[in-house]
Structure 1
Amino acid sequence: MAGKPLLSINDMSIVFTSPDEPDIEAVRQVDLTLTPGKTLALVGESGCGKSVTARAVLRLLDKNADIRTGEIVYEAEGGAVDVVRLKPDSLAMRAIRGAQISMIFQEPMSSLSPVHTIGNQIDEIIVLHERLTQKQARERTVSLLDQVGIPGARERANAYPFELSGGLRQRAMIAMALACTPKLLIADEPTTALDVTTQAQILDLLRQLQDDFGMAMLFITHDLGVVAEVADDIAVMYLGDVVEQGDVFEVFKAPKHPYTQALMSSVPRLQRKSERTRLTPIKGTVPSPKDRPVGCAFTSRCPHAFAPCPTIRPERTPVSEGHVARCHLLTHTKEEALA
């Protein structure tokens, strides 16, 4: 990744605690880097820790979630800040959240207030962070709604979320996230509930807005087709582990971790009738975080698992410049392990 990092997550582990159950490690020693003007796609099956990782950046985790180790270093306007050391409700964190780092949540209908108009919700953010008058804030809100492609922006600002279609609600969420021109935009599966046409429009919009604002973007998804369209770099998560990361084209061309290879093999492809083949599903199911293997998280489903996999966690192994993976096959052969 070229350029100075805007945000670096280093060795971050997140644990969920319960008075009646053992601690559950949801995210394990994650390392991610986000650069201005670039998009990092965070991909993996549901429940692998993608959203938890994103919410940790904004300190929006549940009360029973503890960032047990690591740091989240953000290059704020006043200098580098370790977000982990800020209290979630502190003034310093509030100055970053929503203003310098914003998030588009997965389901706008459950994220927007049903009893306030779209305009009022965006106005509130602008007034809070920009110290503008209510009239000035409304003018900016209308401008933002127009910029994200909502027709009749001034009238739509007075609409409630339930009065808008899914695509318009998603655009309103994007306008809200961009209200204070953030340096980093976190998009948590922003196109999951949309039809294909609207999905394409939203992706085009995000790309255009990124070019306009020069933002870094963390794009969370499980759709590899979307990743190919929007991302510069990719990080593949499985059961809280980042098992492979690097340039998106290099990882797609030559995936090194068996999980990444399995994800690529399970993607449907257009083929001639004479060449049709069945999809290759990933065998087995994701283990419960309570039963996480001591070694490689993918051990129980990996067709290449051998001696060290269940008991020894693989190191981050360089494949090429900027491309790394956690897999024993990169440092050992099965024959060596059995010798």
Structure 2
Amino acid sequence: MTKPLLSVNDMAIVFTSPDEPDIEAVRQVDLTLTPGKTLALVGESGCGKSVTARAVLRLLDKNADISRGEILYDAAQDGPVDIARLDPDGLAMRSIRGAQISMIFQEPMTSLSPVHTIGNQIDEVIMLHERMSQKQARERTIALLDQVGVPGARDRANAYPFELSGGLRQRAMIAMALACTPKLLIADEPTTALDVTTQAQILDLLRQLQDDFGMAILFITHDLGVVAEVADEVAVMYLGDVVEQGDVYEVFRAPQHPYTQALMNSVPRLQRKAERQRLSPIKGTVPSPKDRPEGCAFTSRCPHAFAPCPNIRPERTEVGAGHIARCHLLTQANVEEPA
């Protein structure tokens, strides 16, 4: 088996406030990323997907802290390193961020500087991590823009973000993320704001780049159709918890957690007129982390919730080869009501 590139083990992220109790936004997350493979992290907005990704790059807000667990990165020159213990502004973390682990942010219009050209922003990344002159960096920038399908790359390098379409801005963001040929690429909903044609082009581009560079990809999305198309494995996240995880085919074929089942049932399907049915939405909304129950986080919206659910946290249960879920229904015979 291929050695894991990044292993997130038992990670928890806490947000602090001087006026309110600490809020645990992410708890006990376990993820494994392998070279050449794509892990999709899915769930509704507010489930902690982006916070988890930013923790890997140590880009959390000032009031957020990794309170427990480890993020083992096993591609450093000196052997495995625990990113969770590194200084976010230290030399060791800065040598990893952008060079070995890169991120495509969700909205390029707010992630790119509006007062610098696309070329200058990509040049800066290259010169920061590589021993290159400005002229050499610009030539690589143009080559990268051409590689990701930006027409007239030499001229576009001198354009400002607001002068490009949404699809071209996203391609420029991908070029910046690939500037130093990273081993791990984190894509935070890279196709959400794009039309379906451009979305298909971006997904094809990511697959091609993965084949070319052998990168591991952490793909964050709430679109199960995209997951089925690009992912090898999927982790379903709800209110900071990974409630189900496994091979994408196995999870989609036989989802075990009620939340995963509800997500799949809410996906529109093409049907003949005589067979058409109403969509099946998930009732309620994702609660605030401040209101998280002691037990299963999905309790308030679960149609199968029973006595132990709000008070006892379900254990990770293996339901197949590499297929894991957290649900009391899977161990119902062994669950006792609390005294």
TM band (smaller chain): over 0.9
Does the 8 Å contact 2:119/2:138 carry over to 1?
A: yes
The CA deviation at 1:337 is 6.0
The CA deviation at 1:196 is 0.6
Rounded to whole Å, the distance in 1 between the matches of 2:335 and 2:272 is 40
The aligned runs of 1:11-160 (5 Å cut-off) are: 11-78=10-77, 79-160=79-160
Q: TM-score, normalised by structure 1?
A: 0.98
Equivalent position SS for 1:236: strand
Partner of 1:312: 312
Quick one: which amino acid aligns to residue 61 of structure 2?
Answer: D
C-alpha distance 234-301 of structure 1, shift in aligned 2 (>3 A): same
Does the 8 Å contact 1:293/1:310 carry over to 2?
A: yes
Does the 8 Å contact 1:306/1:334 carry over to 2?
A: no
The aligned runs of 1:312-331 (5 Å cut-off) are: 312-331=312-331
Q: State the aligned residue count.
A: 337
Deviation string 1:5-47 (CA, Å, 9 cap, x unpaired) is: 0000000000000000111110011000000000000000001
Q: TM-score, normalised by structure 2?
A: 0.98
Partner of 1:184: 184
C-alpha distance 143-335 of structure 1, shift in aligned 2 (>3 A): closer
Quick one: which amino acid aligns to residue 73 of structure 1?
Answer: L
Deviation string 1:262-300 (CA, Å, 9 cap, x unpaired) is: 000000000000000000011122111111010000001
Once superposed, what is the RMSD of the aligned Cα atoms? 1.2
The sequence identity of aligned pairs, in percent, is: 86
Equivalent position SS for 1:332: helix
The aligned runs of 1:183-262 (5 Å cut-off) are: 183-262=183-262
The CA deviation at 1:334 is 9.8
Does the 8 Å contact 2:308/2:336 carry over to 1?
A: no
Partner of 1:280: 280
The CA deviation at 1:131 is 1.3
Quick one: which amino acid aligns to residue 80 of structure 1?
Answer: P
Partner of 2:6: 7
Equivalent position SS for 2:243: strand
Does the 8 Å contact 2:10/2:69 carry over to 1?
A: yes
Deviation string 1:37-73 (CA, Å, 9 cap, x unpaired) is: 0000000000100000000000000000011000000
Query: Is 1:168 matched with 2:168?
Result: yes
Q: Which runs of 4+ in 1 moved over 3 A?
A: 333-338
* Structure 2 unaligned blocks of 5 or more: none
Quick one: which amino acid aligns to residue 21 of structure 1?
Answer: E
Does the 8 Å contact 1:103/1:177 carry over to 2?
A: yes
Does the 8 Å contact 1:236/1:245 carry over to 2?
A: yes
